[in-house]
Amino acid sequence: MEKKYIAYFSILLVGLIFIARLFYIQVIDTKYKPSPLNNSAVAVKYDYPERGFIYDRNGELIVANQLSYDIMIVPRDVKTLDTLEFCNLLKIEKDDFIRKYKKARIYSPRLPSVFVAQMSKNDYAYLQEKMYKYKGFYIQKRSLRQYSLNSAANVLGYIGEVNNTLLNKNSYYQQGELIGINGVEKEYEEALRGLKGVKFIQRNRFNKEIGPYKDGMYDTLATVGKDVTITLDIKLQKYAEDLMINKRGGIVALEPTTGEILSLVSSPTYDPNLLVGRERSKNYKKLRADEASNPLYDRSLLAQYPPGSPFKIINALIGLQEQVITPQTHFYCYGGFKYGRSSKAFMKCHCGTNGSAVQLDRGIYKSCNSYFANTYKRIIEKYPTSSEGMKTWSDHVKSFGLGDYLHNDLSTGVKGVVPDEKLYNRMYPNFRWGPTTNISNAIGQGEILTTPIQLANITAIVANRGFYFTPHIIKKIDNKPIQMDKFTVPKRTTINPEYFDPVVEGMFHVVENPGGTARWSKVEGIEICGKTGTAENPHGQDHSIFIAFAPKDKPKIAIAVFVENGYWGSRWAGPIATLMIEKYLNGKSTRPWEEKRMHEGSIQDEYDKQLLMKELEKAAE
């Protein structure tokens, strides 16, 4: 009789094992618990909303959308067709056709894949009528960016397929979706893209869709992207880009009273339409490969140059604040400043004052190196040790927003360099350094490096007499003005407002005074304050720099222009800056000859020479 217990026992055992197994796969193991998103029984369909438009500060449409048409293929449904005719329609070779077909087939015979991407509207109109003949092919509409003006590519940025790093980080995006990669497109991606709608569709095992999943319980509607208004004045931007033709460099124009960026030019630039559509990756590679002129590199934000003479303005302000000089303090200049016993320890000066007394005003408009070397020396020597003096000086400089990111809403940026006592203690560990060691800081030539946008910000500070708003590009989202504390709270420098007036006066004379360094750029009817700069450059010709703001009282525009290897400040940068001021304030220029000179002027031969030198050096190595 115990035999029957063997039977009972084994039956119960099997029952227990089965229940335990069910418990494991149904309750414990999460591997078997698909959510609607990764349930293979559910197809997810996205409904992509139209991306928001981008307008400039005057409401002019800069970026819109255009429809593009992808030819899609479902290999399983393809029936025999007149390949030759079809190839002619699509403008592809027969080999191409076979290759693409095989690729789609390998990807999946059942799922649609892109056969020919981004056909033009004309091709579409023609194809549409013929498509019925080709089973297994259909046309899918997509939305692409369209730029009405060939301008501001560096500001607007572009969109492209989302990369893997971001896919892992941000669960919103799916493989193959488009995302803003640069510029405004990147920075305001969330506003522009809107929210895609999701539809869950029940499938059977052949991937046939058999109706909405759970009657559309989880489905969401798409939200259209918001329109964005940026602070750029697209006419001014385009004007500036044209003036910079055949010249490399960066221009930044700000509205001092708000910190809004009026134009942000990097030259050479590229046509934003190049990075749209079928030719995008080909064009991108081409732009990328152009290492010599590097159009993808935003010089207005990323290029760090020695600021040169415009930096004398800051030294003057620090001198006044530290009370080591007054507007009446005068120094004498005999063609330079001797800062050591050696004959080499001599900073040349071309101010041409020849031993006559140079006061602050004249120092600025003549750009006298000796004057600012003396001032700088006094600032550092005011303190018992060079370290303390250096620290005070450095803190003042940093309060102008130099040596740090501006924390703006532009997609890239660099810090620049402001030297401080720590740097010099590291540079000269066994040497008692003093103001004469780094005397070139006096004329913006030493270790200090700034970007054009930082330089423009300094100009805005002077125009505002002591404070600035962080430069920013966003004006309105969805037609609602932006209220962001970081852009609307003024930031003050360590310089008292009253010290600005004599300096502004000096800058006014740079243009106005018959002896000023930028007297050729004088514009009738506009009170422009400026400062020229000529920054030495070990690789070739000096850089041409000019900062300016106008009008002198209640300034509306502050601008910094940087032209690489432009010889001297008043040769290129000065005219460009004043032409832009004229254009912005009056809508047109009274000096067409200057415009013509800028449009026709080229520094390409100098760049070619540098490239040649570089290659020769390489060859020599």
Partner 1 sequence: MGWINIYAASVTDTSQGVLDFSTLYGKQLQWIGFSTVIIVIIIAIDSKFYERFSGVFYIISMLSLVGLFIFGSTVNGATSWYNLGGSSIQPSEFAKGATVLALANYLNEPNRDLSNLKDQLSAFSILLLPAILIILQPDAGSALIYFALIFVLYREGLPAIYLGLGFLAIVLFLLTLYAGFTSSIIIVFSILTLFFVYLLNTKKFQLNREWPKVIMLYVFIGLFLFSVDYVFNNVFEQRHRDRFSIVLGKNVDTKGIGYNTNQSMLTIGSGGLTGKGFLEGDRTQGNFVPEQDTDYIFSTVGEEWGFIGSSAVIIIFIAFILRIIRVAERQKSKFSRVFGYSIATIFFFHFMINVGMVIGLLPTIGIPLPFFSYGGSSLWGFTILLFVFIRLDADRTYEW
Binding site for partner 1 (CB under 8 A): 3-4, 7-8, 11-12, 14-15, 17-19, 21-23, 25-27, 29, 31-34, 39-42, 202-205, 210, 213-214
**Which residues are CB-neighbours of 122 under 8 A, at least 6 positions away?**
none
Rounded distance between C-alpha atoms, residue 129 and residue 309, angstroms: 67
DSSP summary character for residue 268? S
State in angstroms the smallest separation of the CB of 2 from partner 1: 11
CB of 76 to partner 1, least distance (A): 17
In the complex with partner 1, which residue's Cβ is closer, 26 or 58? 26
Residue with tokens 């420098």: 493
Q: Which is nearer to partner 1, 19 or 484 (CB)?
A: 19
In whole angstroms, give the CA distance from residue 359 to residue 379. Answer: 17
Q: Considering the complex, what minimum distance in angstroms separates the CB of residue 31 from partner 1? A: 7
Residue carrying the six token digits 């832009």: 580
Q: Which CB sits closer to partner 1, 33 or 45?
A: 33
Which of these, 598, 563, 534, lies nearest to 248 by C-alpha position?
Answer: 563
Question: Least distance (Å) from partner 1 to the CB of residue 289?
Answer: 42
Q: Residue 174 CB, nearest distance to partner 1 (Å)? A: 21
CA distance 264 to 99: 45
Nearer CB in complex with partner 1: 18/431: 18
Task: Give dist(CA 565, CA 517) in Å, integer.
Answer: 18
Q: What angle do CA 328, 329, 331 make, to 5 degrees?
A: 130
170 or 207: CB nearest partner 1: 207
d(CA 390, CA 428): 14
- Give the span between the Cα atoms of 575 and 532, in whole angstroms: 11
For residue 551, whether the previous peptide bond is cis, meaning omega lies within 30 degrees of 0, is yes
Which residue's CB is nearer to partner 1, number 204 or number 342?
204
CB-nearer residue toward partner 1: 31 or 588? 31
Are 588 and 283 in contact by the 8 Å Cβ rule? The answer is no
For the bound state, the minimum distance from the C-beta of residue 37 to partner 1, rounded and expressed in Å, comes to: 13
To partner 1, the closest distance from the beta carbon of 411 in angstroms equals: 42
Q: Are 473 and 232 in contact (CB under 8 A)?
A: yes
Bridge partners of 223, per DSSP, are 195
Q: Which of 64, 65, 67, 48 is nearest to 56 (CA)?
A: 64
Q: How many CA atoms lie within 13 A of 108 on its CB side?
A: 9
Task: For residue 312, give the nearest of 581, 519, 545 by alpha carbon.
Answer: 545
Q: State in angstroms the smallest separation of the CB of 5 from partner 1.
A: 10
Which lies closer to partner 1 via its Cβ, residue 31 or residue 480? 31
Q: Tell me whether residue 206 or residue 593 sits nearer to partner 1 (CB atom).
A: 206
CB of 20 to partner 1, least distance (A): 10
